[in-house]
Chain A
Amino acid sequence: MSEDVLRIRTPIGIHYRYSAGPNASSHLRGLMEGKFIGKRCPSCTLVYMPPRSTCAKCGVLLGEDVEVGPKGTITTFCIVNVAFLGQTIKIPYVAATILIDGADLGMQHLIQECETSDVRMGMRVEPVWKPREEWQPSLANITHFRPTGEPDADFDSFSGQL
């Protein structure tokens, strides 16, 4: 007779069909054309990129599409040195909050093509796109951001983001 049962597998999963909704969809449509599309609040004029449905400050529906970027400025960043389950990027790497030019809200992305020790607040970066034939409605169309070599942005230009 085989051994006593000591443990059981109880996998659980849910199959969703996720809908991005009309506002995030205009952003996703932009990504399929290699553009960053945000939305402007008709009340306070802040530009959300990626867009959400309503302005967090004013509580009103966001209005017109606004093309922003593609370059941006690193506002804050984190050097990841610790491996974790499911990790796909080689450590150490830099996860940064990037304020895309023309947007008023930072977005998260990966910084590559430089030493982690060279990354700094205010560093100017640009997106690196996958080959066009691989584009999907996804921010993953951009493999990473890399330094542009431009002079750093003035601290005052992004200090309101911190």
Chain B
Amino acid sequence: MSGATSDYTIAPDGSFTAPLELFYPYKRTVGPTLSRFLTGLRDQRVEGTRGKDGRVHVPPAEFDPVTGEPMTEWAEVGSQGSVVSWSWQPSPVDGNVLQHPFAWALIRLDGADTALLHGVDAGRSDAMTTGMRVRARWAEERTGSITDIACFEPVTSTAVVARGGS
């Protein structure tokens, strides 16, 4: 916890105010399942785990949500997918995947049966639709993190460009 008392200001009611920063430099182990997922992202490969019922979970689940057994079977899925649900973020905050307005979206990647939460760089909210096609924009420097996918972007077709171009 830190903050500079010297940066204080005095409010109209006479109260002193000063910055206060609460910060935790966490670092954690990821376990074998997320390790494989994140290592794959570093290599621009998206993998999920397949449950007993055949459904593919991306991001991978460590345990089968149906049987409770450890998930050991893996499946590679596409880096493109469809938006299942989304919400517009008009004022991004520090640490968000993009620092200009974007959409938070649940994205079901091709070959997956569950959705992944990420940002979509759509430019404006009326460019977003449920069911729209998006693709991963890979980060140039990849370290083994969910942000190795910098964000998703609309798969542009002529129709999309025409609609979102104004």
Q: Which A residues form the contact surface with B (CB < 8 A)? A: 1-2, 4-22, 24-26, 28-29, 136-138, 140
The reply to whether B36 and A4 contact each other, CB–CB distance below 8 Å, is yes
- Measured CB to CB, the nearest residue on chain A to B43 is A1
The reply to whether A6 and B29 contact each other, CB–CB distance below 8 Å, is yes
* B interface residues, how many (CB within 8 angstroms): 35
- Measured CB to CB, the nearest residue on chain B to A134 is B6
Q: Which 3 residue pairs across A and B have the least CB separation, nearest first?
A: A5-B144, A13-B23, A18-B20
A2 to chain B, nearest CB (A): 8
Task: Please give, as numbers and ranges, the residues of chain A lying within 8 Å of B18 by CB-CB distance.
Answer: 17-18, 20, 137
Q: Which B residues form the contact surface with A (CB < 8 A)? A: 3, 5-6, 8, 10-11, 13-30, 35-36, 38-39, 42-43, 94-95, 143-145
The reply to whether A25 and B145 contact each other, CB–CB distance below 8 Å, is no
CA distance A14 to B25 in the complex (A): 12
Contact among B3, B26, B29 with A18 in the assembled complex (CB-CB below 8 Å): B3
CA distance A127 to B71 in the complex (A): 63
CA distance A128 to B99 in the complex (A): 47
The reply to whether A16 and B29 contact each other, CB–CB distance below 8 Å, is no
Task: Please give, as numbers and ranges, the residues of chain A lying within 8 Å of B145 by CB-CB distance.
Answer: 5, 8
Contact A12:B26 (CB < 8 A) given known A5-B42, A17-B20, A18-B3: yes
CA distance A8 to B34 in the complex (A): 10
Q: Which of B5, B21, B95 has the most CB of A within 10 A?
A: B5
The reply to whether A19 and B11 contact each other, CB–CB distance below 8 Å, is yes
B147 to chain A, nearest CB (A): 10
Task: Please give, as numbers and ranges, the residues of chain A lying within 8 Å of B94 by CB-CB distance.
Answer: 13, 15
Task: Please give, as numbers and ranges, the residues of chain B lying within 8 Å of A136 by CB-CB distance.
Answer: 5-6, 8
The reply to whether A137 and B27 contact each other, CB–CB distance below 8 Å, is no
Contact among B16, B17, B30 with A6 in the assembled complex (CB-CB below 8 Å): B30
CA distance A2 to B27 in the complex (A): 20
B54 to chain A, nearest CB (A): 27
The reply to whether B15 and A5 contact each other, CB–CB distance below 8 Å, is no
The reply to whether B17 and A20 contact each other, CB–CB distance below 8 Å, is yes
- Measured CB to CB, the nearest residue on chain B to A5 is B144
B10 to chain A, nearest CB (A): 8
Contact among A9, A24, A26, A29 with B27 in the assembled complex (CB-CB below 8 Å): A9
- Measured CB to CB, the nearest residue on chain B to A138 is B5
